[in-house]
Chains A and B, each alone.
Chain A
Amino acid sequence: QKEVEQNSGPLSVPEGAIASLNCTYSDRGSQSFFWYRQYSGKSPELIMSIYSNGDKEDGRFTAQLNKASQYVSLLIRDSQPSDSATYLCGGETSGSRLTFGEGTQLTVNP
């Protein structure tokens, strides 16, 4: 079992819709989770971090963490074409290194 798994993509949504990205993890000791956005050929850019159960909102982005279900998600409201990118879910495992899922490619269609 992979330590961090993301829902298979690619994911395509129309402009203005809600994009839902999901991630599960296997290490119950993981305490911190991060969502990064990566445009093609570019570096990962941190967009959300979440450490506690529940929801965390920042503008159009909402991260959700459920430690009992070992589940992390990212919702993007009012999706824009500029949100089209690969989204990486990362969990902090022992020793502070991040373990990433394979990424979900999101396309927002105008």
Chain B
Amino acid sequence: NAGVMQNPRHLVRRRGQEARLRCSPMKGHSHVYWYRQLPEEGLKFMVYLQKENIIDESGMPKERFSAEFPKEGPSILRIQQVVRGDSAAYFCASSPKQGRANQPQHFGDGTRLSIL
């Protein structure tokens, strides 16, 4: 499968624990985006990363949330001290290196995070 790979598909955490969500972009893609989707709502942008750089984190909550895309390995979205309101589907998308500004983003299957 050469698509965007996210894991785990489902993640259950208790309040106060940490959640780590992983995303491997499509082969040849160097741009990664994270989105959150609350039940019955649209997709909300969180953060845009390239290798070792955070390009735009304007959609990230100021506290408890962080993201990285290291030189080696997948992109990680980390949520510390989770609360019930963090329950959502988290989608990762990737696009190719920007030769043009309008390369479509392709989405992974998402991680469904449930907080008990």
- B107 contacts A97, C-beta separation under 8 Å: no
Inter-chain CA distance A51–B31, complex, in Å, is: 20
Say which one of A57-65, A68-76, A88-96 lies at the interface with B: A88-96
Residues of A contacting B101 in the complex (Cβ-Cβ under 8 angstroms): 31-32, 92, 96
- B104 contacts A43, C-beta separation under 8 Å: no
- Can you name the residue of chain B whose Cβ is closest to the Cβ of A92? B102
Residues of A contacting B58 in the complex (Cβ-Cβ under 8 angstroms): 97
Kindly provide the distance from the CB of B52 to the nearest chain A CB, expressed in whole angstroms.
17
Inter-chain CA distance A45–B91, complex, in Å, is: 12
- A100 contacts B43, C-beta separation under 8 Å: yes
Inter-chain CA distance A92–B48, complex, in Å, is: 13
Number of interface residues of B (CB under 8 A): 26
Instruction: Using C-beta atoms within 8 Å of the partner chain, give the interface range for chain A.
Output: 20 to 34
- B42 contacts A98, C-beta separation under 8 Å: no
Residue A46 at the chain B interface, CB threshold 8 Å: yes
Residues of A contacting B93 in the complex (Cβ-Cβ under 8 angstroms): 98
7 contacts between A and B (CB under 8 A): A45-B107, A46-B104, A49-B102, A96-B31, A97-B45, A102-B41, A103-B42
- A97 contacts B33, C-beta separation under 8 Å: yes
- B45 contacts A99, C-beta separation under 8 Å: yes
- Can you name the residue of chain B whose Cβ is closest to the Cβ of A46? B104
A6-47 vs B, CB cutoff 8 Å, 1 = contact: the mask equals 000000000000000000000000011010100000111110
Residues of B contacting A88 in the complex (Cβ-Cβ under 8 angstroms): 42-43
Kindly provide the distance from the CB of A31 to the nearest chain B CB, expressed in whole angstroms.
6
Known contacts A44-B43, A44-B91: A95-B102 contact under CB 8 Å: no
- B102 contacts A32, C-beta separation under 8 Å: yes
Inter-chain CA distance A51–B44, complex, in Å, is: 22
Kindly provide the distance from the CB of A2 to the nearest chain B CB, expressed in whole angstroms.
10
- B104 contacts A42, C-beta separation under 8 Å: no
Known contacts A88-B43, A96-B31: A46-B106 contact under CB 8 Å: yes
- A43 contacts B91, C-beta separation under 8 Å: yes
